[in-house]
Amino acid sequence: MEIIIGIFLFIMGTIFGSFYNVVGYRLPKGESIVFPPSHCTNCNHRLTALELIPVLSYVFQKGKCKHCHQKISLFYPIFELLTGILFTMCYISFGLTPNLIIALTFVSMMIIIVVSDYHYLIISDEVLITFAIILFIEILLINGLKIALYSLLNGALAFLTMFLLKKFGDFLFKKESMGGGDIKLLFIFGMILTYPIAILSIFVGSLIGLPVALVILWKKKNNIIPFGPFLAAGATLLLLLQINLDTIINLYQ
């Protein structure tokens, strides 16, 4: 039964991942996420149902548009596959529990943010506000009003800390050290992970991003590197490992 649920969530994840690609790609450009329907960006050929099968369509079409034979970015199937894997990992971590819903919502937001920040260096306010509301409602319904209000407090503290870090970075480097979206993102991290773990996610994200940034800057020194994807990676890792303050305290006992 557990294997069946895992497979189901993986398939659902790839389907949602395909949609999240569209949201992350279109929303920062002010485009509708439903119109026009999915199409080839080169020849505007409207994709058929068989061309919209996550991951498999890319494989069967050998990574090319069926109509104009233009190469399709490998970015799309990678993120479809990644979303499927993350959905399955959420189930492995949280089981078939109410908290699984929160975890799936959280990683869904992470995928959209990574797509948009990678392409445009933008974390859309629409995405952050929408998911903040959805996650708050889920916390309220699952854990009650007291925990929901506590999550808002954690979010506010994480936001304030990130804001102060930005101001310090701006002063230190004499230029904008991070985007406003990264600061707002920490509010949601605080809501879901609690304040201490949200702050820890900054350092985990930095550790993940450092080697990648060094390679990118080595190739081209004036490249702009988005921090959002690394923050998302750090927060998602801590979520899946269910790291909390007690876990950290026990390490030192």
- Give yes or no: residues 55 and 110 share one domain: no
Contacts of 100 (CB under 8 A, 6+ apart): 90, 91, 94
- pLDDT > 70? residue 62: yes
pLDDT at 249 over 70: no
Rg (CA), the chain: 19
Both 234 and 205 in a single domain?
A: yes
Of 50, 68, 96, the position where a domain reaches its end is 96
Q: List the one residue out of 197, 188, 198, 163 whose CA is nearest residue 109.
A: 188
Helix/strand/coil (H/E/C) assignment for every residue in 117-174 = HHHHCCCCHHHHHHHHHHHHHHHHHHHCHHHHHHHHHHHHHHHHHHHHHHHHHHHHHC
Asked if residue 130 and residue 64 are part of one domain, the reply reads: no
124 and 80 belong to one structural domain = no
Structure tokens at 82: 């990644």
- Cα–Cα distance for residue pair 209/242, rounded to 1 Å: 21
Q: How many Å apart are CA 54 and CA 87, to the nearest integer?
A: 15
Residues 179 and 218 in one domain: yes
The proportion of the chain whose per-residue pLDDT surpasses 70, expressed as a percent, equals: 92
Q: Domain total for the chain?
A: 2
Is residue 39 classed as helix, strand or coil in its secondary structure? strand
How confident is the model at residue 210, as a pLDDT? 84
Are 175 and 186 found together in one domain? yes
Angle between helices 125-143 and 145-173 (to 10 degrees): 150
- Domain assignment of residue 126, given as a range: 99-253
pLDDT digits (tens, 9 = 90+) for 163-196: 998 888 777 767 766 777 889 999 999 999 999 9
Residue 62's identity, in one-letter code, is: K
147 plus 219 within the same structural domain: yes
pLDDT tens digits along 231-246: 999 999 999 999 887 7
- Give the mean pLDDT of the chain: 88
Tell whether 92 and 40 lie within a shared domain: yes
Residues 18, 85 share a domain = yes
Indicate whether 186 and 243 sit together in one domain: yes
The reply to whether 185 and 233 lie within a common domain is yes
Same domain flag for 138 and 205: yes
Dihedral angle at the C-alpha atoms of 69, 71, 74, 75, nearest 10 degrees? -110
pLDDT tens for 89-133 read: 999 999 999 999 999 999 999 999 999 998 898 999 999 999 999
Q: Which of 61, 96, 131 delimits the end of a domain?
A: 96
Of 96, 129, 160, the one marking the end of a domain is 96
Alpha-helical regions (H) of 27-65: 56-60
